[in-house]
Structure 1
Amino acid sequence: MQNANFDDDKVIAPLLPKVERQRLHDTVVEHLRRFIVEGLLEPGRKLNERELCETLDISRTPLREAFKVLAAEGLIEISPNRGATVAKMTEAEIRETFELMSGLEAFSGELACERITPAEIAEIKSLHYAMVACRAQNDLAGYYSRNQAIHDRINEAARNSALRQTYISINRRLQALRFRSNYQTPKWDRAIEEHEAMLEALDARDGKRLSTILRHHLLEKRDAVLQLVSTERAPDTQP
């Protein structure tokens, strides 16, 4: 799947509504984060303030405030000389961050099995069925958002605020890579199978099993992303 061309207003304009003034700051951050996750703003890309202001129908002040938030999250980098660019992780950073995330997800699964409520399990099952429906419609964005919501609900069900804050911080750095790892259809189907196994472990309150599934799930994502990144960067190494 190719990234959308951000310079093409006909491509970008229909994707998101104009920013509502009452939620200006949060909405600008959400929009930019989504642009980055879905590849509309790819790693290493310089952010053009004029284009973004026109696309979001905002002034430069809230845009620059949003840049500061995204820089703190590690999604963009701000340089006095170059302005803002979308952050680009090295292969070593990708490997290490996914390994850390696999541990956070595994621990979340263990605690969730001890503390999750029947209502929370029902919500996760509902998200799973919605994710499967998106797969049937080849709706990658819908599939991904529900996929991530499932992982997020498991983390919330762990009921550990320190784990929660660390999880959110690390996951934001990986979201764009996790999204791209689903470009190949077989990976969608494999993820669905693994999510079905997660639901079975949750139903059984089997923390060790869910922990193992989640760790394996994230390490598979790591390998898929590293393979993708290696393939994309290979031409850059040619003489």
Structure 2
Amino acid sequence: MSGHDELSERQRSLMTFIEEYFDVNGRPPTNREIGNGLGIPSTGHVDYHLKALEKKGFISRAQRTSRGIRVLTSLRATLDEAVTALQGVPIMGTIAAGAPWEVTNTPDDVLDVNPQTFGARAFALRVKGKSMIEDGILDGDYVIIDPFEGQPKMRDIIVATNTAAGEHGAATLKRFFKEDKRIRLQPANSEMDPIFVSARDWDRHWQVQGRLAAVIRMYDAN
């Protein structure tokens, strides 16, 4: 098992933020900058995940300094190793177009499309369920996801993960709506109900993995 397998969704987002922040600014971020960048309101919550990353050997931290983070094992390097032999967009498991579905952390196959079309960080998921059929996303399709950090735009079709559910979290594919004191994850199926998440729970337990970039459907002659 690679070090990448050992990280939760939240810990992976912290590692990605730390590495990208260092690339842009030439120095590590503070706990508060990490919290602001990832929408984590509590610096104590940030510190909790940094301690986990430190314990797993991904970072070290100097004491009594706000910018004491040092990357020991690059998350991007572990991802690159996982897909080195693959040509295409890595398939990272199954996404629920219905009730949230447990996700995986490592690619189990590759979708034969040009990865340069969607960017180096794009990944694919198999669709399970019928909650997005009115947007033309059917059970058995593949969706290609463009990862990003921060808040999505209204009506974006996103992959949202409830990090409090399951070992690796439970993910769902829905349209995003920000309402008064809550988030609505809206299916594109008039027979199905939306998922409502309080603003507090959204900030504490949910993470946006990316927005929909493309839908791929395989032709079945049978």
Task: Verify same fold: TM over 0.5.
Answer: no
Greater helix fraction, Structure 1 or Structure 2:
1
Q: TM-score by structure 2 length?
A: 0.30
